[in-house]
Amino acid sequence: MTVSTHDLKHILQQRILILDGAMGTMIQSYKLEEVDYRGERFANHSCDVKGNNDLLSITQPKIISDIHRAYFEAGADIVETNTFNGTSIAMADYEMEDLVYELNKVSAQLARTVADEFTA
């Protein structure tokens, strides 16, 4: 179910909505290594990618979905996408500027899919 801006404003007049917490902190709790960030698709990428949390939406989608799910289960009304560094400038650090669109799209799809589990 998609909530419109009008619906959101109406809900906000009735109560405070809870946002999720820090995606990066939750990712750190998994203690992922370089190989985890790379996955199969980026196994031979030319530079290190550990720390590129946005990439995990592609290489470790279950982890990202589980984090969204944990926030909803903890009472969050809204989750943000895993796109803190989803820009060509930030991705240049990892030589992955060409992935920006895909990273943002996949991250949004993961968040939407999990949100739908809780609003259906």
Q: How far is CA 41 from the centre of its chain?
A: 18
Q: CB count, 10 Å around CB of 22?
A: 12
CA distance 69 to 72: 5
Q: Considering the domain boundaries, does residue 2 fall inside one?
A: no
What mean pLDDT comes out for the span 1-10? 83
Domain containing 47 equals 16-119
Q: Is residue 85 part of a domain?
A: yes
Is residue 10 included in any domain, yes or no?
A: no
Residue 9 belongs to a domain = no
Q: What share of the chain is helix, strand, coil (3-state, %, to 5)?
A: 60, 0, 40
Q: Which residues of 28-63 are buried (b: 16+ CB within 10 A; e: fewer)?
A: eeeebeeeebbbeebeebeeebeebbbbbbbbbbeb
Classify residue 106: in a domain, yes or no: yes
Model confidence at 4, in pLDDT bands (50, 70, 90)? confident
* Complete DSSP assignment for 58-76: HH-HHHHHHHHHHHHHTT-
Does residue 11 belong to any structural domain of this protein? no
pLDDT one-digit tens code per residue, 41-82:
999 999 999 999 999 999 999 999 999 999 999 999 999 999
| Number of domains comprising the chain | 1
pTM of the predicted structure, to 2 decimals: 0.93
Residue 42 lies in a domain: yes
Separation between Cα atoms, residue 44 and residue 34, nearest integer Å? 11
Note whether residue 23 is domain-resident.
yes
